[in-house]
Amino acid sequence: MSWSLSLLAPRETELLDAFFLSVGRALHLANAYEEKCQYVLRAGNLITAHQADPALSLEEVFATVQADKLLAGTLHSLAAHAMGQTMDFGTLHKAREARNFIAHEGASIGYMWSANSDRILRHAVKLRAAVRDLAHGDNIVSQWCYGLEEPHDPPPADWIKCYPEKIDAWVFGSLRALLPFEQSEPQSDCPAPAENGTH
């Protein structure tokens, strides 16, 4: 074992740049997923505490809410919460596993100077599968966030339908052309992503 950066130049500089951009974007989504799960549980606990005793002051209601947990504990508490009865926890737990893969193994391609295109792309395929699972879970919890923040507005059905495809385009951008297409075909009524994966 030696230093992660080396005097030896990487073999695949441009591919590594695209890959690490994808890893960074995936990590951003993984962090956001965990934060949103904590937010939904916190809001649900605040509502429950207020309904149990409407005479409590705002400070007293906040004092009853437990501190944020790690993602597995958060999902376990959500499942036990009344609002959890309508959530697809199979999808949420797959997203949790995907989040853990992205956080702990997302960029694990070995030494940069020795990583060839085959190794990078094989790992990118695994990363893409994790991002797909994460996107489906994030889509669920994001709808809950939207409902809490905009209780009088209907959720954006077109965005919800296309969200996993939008995530794939944003995270993988130009790498998509180099990866095998394992997902279902994009929805025909989802607008095509822009060149850089954004609109």
pLDDT in tens, 74-91: 666 666 655 656 667 789
12 touches 114 (CB < 8 A) = no
Measure the CA–CA gap between 61 and 29, rounded to whole angstroms: 30
The confidence score (pLDDT) of residue 41 equals 77
DSSP-assigned letter for residue 183:
S
Which two three-digit tokens encode residue 13?
A: 């500089």
29 touches 171 (CB < 8 A) = yes
- Answer with the residue of higher pLDDT: 116 or 51: 116
pLDDT tier for residue 184 given thresholds of 50, 70 and 90: very low
The confidence score (pLDDT) of residue 50 equals 56
4 touches 111 (CB < 8 A) = yes
DSSP-assigned letter for residue 66:
P
Give the distance, in angstroms, between the CA of residue 172 and the centroid of all CA atoms in the same chain.
14
The answer on pLDDT for 144 being more than 70 is: yes
Measure the CA–CA gap between 10 and 114, rounded to whole angstroms: 7
- Answer with the residue of higher pLDDT: 38 or 17: 17
Q: How confident is the model over 80-108, as a mean pLDDT?
A: 83
Which two three-digit tokens encode residue 94?
A: 């797959």
The confidence score (pLDDT) of residue 198 equals 46
The answer on pLDDT for 148 being more than 80 is: yes
In this structure, how many other beta carbons lie within 10 angstroms of the beta carbon of residue 100? 16
Q: What is the pLDDT of residues 156-179, one digit of tens each?
A: 999 999 999 999 999 999 899 999
The confidence score (pLDDT) of residue 11 equals 73
